[in-house]
Amino acid sequence: MSIGEEEMRAVQRAMKSGTLSGYRGSWGDWFFGGPEIKALEHEWSKYFGVKHAIAINSATSGLWASCAAIGLKQGDECIVSCYSMTCSASIPLHFGAMPVFADIEPDYFCLDPKSVESKITSNTKAIIAVDLFGQPYDADAINAIAKKHGIMVIEDAAQACGAKYKGKYAGTLGDIGVFSLNVHKHIQCGEGGIVVTDNDDLAMKIRLCMNHSESVVNDMMQQESEDKAMKADWVSLVGLNLRMTELSAAVAREQLKKLSDIIKVYQSYQDCFPVNIRPGCQHAFYKYAMTTPMIYIDPKQFYSKRHYITPLYQLPLFKQLGYDQHQCPTCEEVEENIILAWFREAI
């Protein structure tokens, strides 16, 4: 396991400080969390070359806060992958918006840009692009589509921490990126996530949404300095408590130091598996995903299984909402043939 003495000492450091959470749901320096949170956000921002990094209690919460920050609302549509963990498709429902399923690429398993563009309507507000199995999405094509139609791209990089596309880290390819620090990801703090963006306004909205926005904005309005000036559309935000603890942040800081070494280990086995890698990408290999009929996988080193997940529109929730049960043929063909392999133990 990648949890070692470093993480244990970090937890002891946080415990000895007596501050297990430095947050308060009111305006002031404490609104931004305690010393471990602030240090993690600074280190994450520096590592990934992004202006804002915001610690949060899960990647699912990060997707929720991102959708809240862009103003997703009833009547909007959000294009999502039909082949992913459910939250990337179900989050829009929290806002009264409708997820619109696009098909996936047959070789790389991420959103197919042609399918994405065919799904865009006048109601489309955003695209949630998933970096599935550690493979970054086709950022050039999908970002160009988004720019053409004036819509936002939220990148779900939960499975791709450390992956790159044309030299740029996954998670930093869209308008907002969301990372996972869940227990079975490349690096972890048990439960946790990081949201990143280069947009100052979106960053502040995400912070408000994950820390009791409605309790904070009135005090913010009283501030005279321009950098804390109230934005008119911040008033309508409603926040939750989606905050990470100091203990989790302390562990995540140590895990981040190990990320490059962990990715090297994952990548060292790529020649053992016939995995398709998008040109210009450095795959993070959260899973070694293949659609080959014959392959031997060493059971002592790797778990393996056939199939990944039922196409999301075939789940009972979406059946109930009236989705077409055979709308993404490539996804259905991939799911019939895919083989997954992953490490029995992290390093």
Instruction: Give dist(CA 70, CA 347) in Å, integer.
Output: 38
* Whole-number pLDDT of residue 345: 67
Domain-located, residue 225:
yes
8 Å CB contact between 345 and 1:
yes
Q: Is 342 part of any domain?
A: no
CATH classification of the domain holding 110:
3.40.640.10
Q: Is residue 156 part of a domain?
A: yes
Across the range 169-197, mean pLDDT stands at 97
73 falls within a domain: yes
Do the domain assignments include residue 283?
no
pLDDT digits (tens, 9 = 90+) for 36-61: 999 999 999 999 999 999 999 999 99
Domain that includes residue 134, residue range: 5-259
Which secondary structure element, helix H or strand E, spans residue 330, and what is its range? helix 329-337
pLDDT at 293: 73
More confident position, 184 or 120:
120
- The total of structural domains in the chain comes to 1
pLDDT of residue 230: 60
pLDDT higher than 60, residue 114: yes
Share of the chain above pLDDT 70, in %: 97
CA distance linking residue 180 with residue 256, whole number of Å: 12
Q: Provide mean pLDDT across the span 153-166.
A: 98
Phi, psi for residue 327 in degrees, rounded to 5: -100, -10
Q: How confident is the prediction for the chain on average, in pLDDT?
A: 93
At 229 the pLDDT is 53
Q: What is the pTM of this model?
A: 0.95
Angle between helices 246-267 and 5-17 (to 10 degrees): 160
Q: Give CA–CA dist 28/111, Å, rounded.
A: 41
pLDDT tens column, 123-138:
999 999 999 999 999 9
Segment 259-273 mean pLDDT = 91
Residue 228, pLDDT above cutoff 80: no
Domain annotation covers residue 313: no
Residue among 190, 135, 153 at smallest CA distance from 10 = 190
pLDDT at residue 234, as a whole number: 84
Q: Which residues are catalytic?
A: 185
Percent of the chain past pLDDT 90, that is, above it, reads: 83
> What is the mean predicted confidence (pLDDT) over 75-90?
97
Please state, in angstroms and rounded to a whole number, the distance separating the CA atoms of residues 272 and 283.
14
The answer to the question of residue 301 being in a domain is: no
Res 226 pLDDT > 80: no
> How far from 194 is each of 22, 53, 88, 93, CA to CA, in Å?
17, 6, 15, 22
Band (1; pLDDT cuts 50, 70, 90): low
Q: How confident is the model over 274-301, as a mean pLDDT?
A: 90
Query: How far, in Å, CA of 206 to CA of 229, rounded?
Result: 16
Residue at 277 is within a domain: no
pLDDT of res. 118: 98
- Reported confidence tier of residue 170, pLDDT bands at 50, 70, 90: very high
Q: Sorting pLDDT into bands at 50, 70 and 90, what band is 347?
A: very low
